[in-house]
Amino acid sequence: MAGLEGMEQPRGAGRATAARWSPAVEDEHAIKALELFGNPTECEVPLPSRPESAATARRLAQVVALRQWQLGPRVTEDTVLLVSELVGNAVRHTGARVFGLHMRRRPGLIRVEVRDPSRGLPCLMPVQDTDISGRGLFLVDKLSDRWGVDLLPRGKTTWFEMRVADR
């Protein structure tokens, strides 16, 4: 169960059904976001803790996944969705002014981290078919291979990992 310091959540092959984003056409705004905010693969990118930052984080994830990492549409789509969910949680639940986005790739694996100054731990809640909110960590749990939370001296990093095919 998430919420335990330094714990990670192994995941099976199960997939959740959710509204889907399509990476078929690369968004010119994604390239602009990379130019304006920086590359989250090179260092942590600080973003203001406002609802509109979720769109910026999605765009950054999109351009990294498609252009830099050359991931397929399905993995890109899932990555963008999960980035949006982690950022949404950071914006809604932490009271922070800024959060950080960092993306890493190793052979066969991608890792996305969202750091915020709150030490409040996220909680995976049961989800019903009729729920219209509260599905963020449920989606992270179903679509990622592993996820977890690392407590820091001042805040936490919530992260997910997904296995990917090497180029």
Whether the pTM exceeds 0.75: the reply is yes
Q: How many CB atoms lie within 10 A of CB 55?
A: 14
Residue 131 has pLDDT above 80, yes or no: no
Q: Of the candidates 21, 22, 67, which has an alpha carbon nearest to the alpha carbon of residue 40? A: 67
Residue 112 located in a structural domain:
yes
Residue 8 lies in a domain: no
Domain span including residue 71: 23-120+133-163
Cα separation, 14 vs 143, in Å, equals 7
pLDDT in the model for residue 133: 61
Count of domains forming the chain: 1
CA 97 vs CA 49, 118, 135: distances in Å: 5, 11, 24
Q: How far apart are the first and last CA of the chain?
A: 32
Range list of β-strands (E), the chain: 45-48, 98-106, 109-116, 146-152, 155-163
What is the tens place of the pLDDT at every residue in 64-109? 999 999 999 999 999 999 999 999 999 988 888 999 999 999 999 9
Give pLDDT tens digits for 20-79.
445 544 567 788 888 999 999 999 999 999 999 999 999 999 999 999 999 999 999 999
pLDDT for 136 equals: 78
Asked whether residue 10 is assigned to any structural domain, the reply reads no
Instruction: Note whether residue 84 is domain-resident.
Output: yes
Task: Quote the pLDDT of residue 64.
Answer: 95
Q: What is the CATH number of the domain that holds 112?
A: 3.30.565.10
9 within domain boundaries? no
User: Is residue 7 included in any domain, yes or no?
Assistant: no
